[in-house]
Amino acid sequence: MSNLSTTLPRRLDPAKFRDPAITAKGERRAVVAFGGLRTLWVNTGTLCNITCRNCYIESSPRNDALVYVSAAEVGAALDEAAALRAPLEEVGFTGGEPFLNRDLPVMLRDVMGRGLRALVLTNAMKPMMNHAAALLALREAFGERLTIRVSLDHHEAALHDLERGEGTFAKTMEGLRWLAEGGFQIHVAGRAGFGAGDEAAMRAGYAALFTAHGIAVDAADAVALMLFPEMDAGIDVPEITEACWSILRKSPESMMCASSRMLVKRRGADRPAFTACTLLPHDPGFEVGATLAEAARPVSLNHPHCAKFCVLGGAACSR
């Protein structure tokens, strides 16, 4: 008989992640200062054409907790970044499924017309294909300034479909092939630790798939094929204290929230707001202001995702 206590992960201690300044053990919690906006993320809205089993942002065809942001609202954020002389390099679009927002091509043209890079996170299914002509025109005008990052949870159809729904692998592969044939710069986002095998085996599996379908993505490149750790805020993780930076040999400047913010628009709100990062769009403790100037405040690492995903997991959401 197996011993369940050795096989099931321990649940999060409810005493942890309560006080933004102090950990459960009474130590000073780690804080990340803002060092200037290099990446602006835009959450285009939480609506999605599919419902994944473990979507960290709970997107679905019905969830509009974050409503569609408009091209004018994104333009205003870009204007403010320019007025603040922010060292902005890239604007990333995430959802939900960003291509469900009809303003996306206009937003992309605005971003790249300002000389910035654009990154779109998509499942490459029908909503993306509905914008095929606009996408080809953008690629023609801006070339490699545009990167499309396609979510493909696993290189095997059955495991991808287990997470995203029957038949989704085939549709996403169709979109990926279309992007490859069209000469787009493509990245792929998969999931580390999903299914059997270590990271090397995962990368080998993706490499074989890309070769078989003529998709020019280097599966050995950690940016071109990003493998994200699993995100479960209910599993126990250590809290990150000020002392952790030197113990772990990590610097606060390397955290996403040191150089990025995300624009979101909550259902019922008059105007958009900024969150500290892409990972915590719904937690009020991580909403940092209505303007980029206000949002330049330090962020206290008071959430399990800060520990698991950023400080300990080694992943980042940009490139």
Which chain residues interact with ligand SF4 by CB under 6 A?
32, 255-257, 276-277, 279-280, 286, 299, 301, 303, 305-306, 309-310
CB closer to ligand SF4, 186 vs 292: 292
Find the helix or strand (DSSP H, E) in which 201 lies: helix 199-213
Q: Read off the tokens for 235.
A: 């599993």
Rounded Cα distance, 309 and 255, in Å = 10
Q: Could you tell me the sign of the dihedral formed by the alpha carbons of 250, 154, 187, 136, in that order?
A: negative
Closest CB 260 distance from ligand SF4, rounded Å = 8
Rounded Cα distance, 307 and 69, in Å = 29
Closest CB 36 distance from ligand SF4, rounded Å = 15
Comparing C-alpha atoms, which of 105, 116, 48 is closest to residue 77? 116
Closest CB 241 distance from ligand SF4, rounded Å = 13
Kindly list the distances between the CA atom of residue 144 and the CA atoms of 141, 147, 221, in Å, as whole numbers in the listed order. Answer: 10, 7, 17
Alpha helices in 220-263 (DSSP H): 244-248
CB closer to ligand SF4, 141 vs 243: 243
CB closer to ligand SF4, 40 vs 256: 256
Please, is 240 exposed, middle or buried when counting C-beta atoms within 10 Å of its C-beta (0-12, 13-18, 19+)?
buried
CB closer to ligand SF4, 78 vs 299: 299
Q: Read off the tokens for 106.
A: 């206009």
CB closer to ligand SF4, 135 vs 288: 288
Rounded Cα distance, 259 and 256, in Å = 6
Closest CB 97 distance from ligand SF4, rounded Å = 22
CB closer to ligand SF4, 17 vs 99: 17
Closest CB 124 distance from ligand SF4, rounded Å = 26
Rounded Cα distance, 47 and 95, in Å = 7
Closest CB 80 distance from ligand SF4, rounded Å = 21
CB closer to ligand SF4, 12 vs 134: 12
Rounded Cα distance, 276 and 271, in Å = 17
Q: Read off the tokens for 257.
A: 């929230």
CB closer to ligand SF4, 33 vs 216: 33
Closest CB 256 distance from ligand SF4, rounded Å = 4
Closest CB 280 distance from ligand SF4, rounded Å = 6
Comparing C-alpha atoms, which of 35, 25, 30, 12 is closest to residue 302? 30
Contact 240, 30 (CB under 8 A): yes
Phi, psi of 24 (to 5 degrees): -60, -30
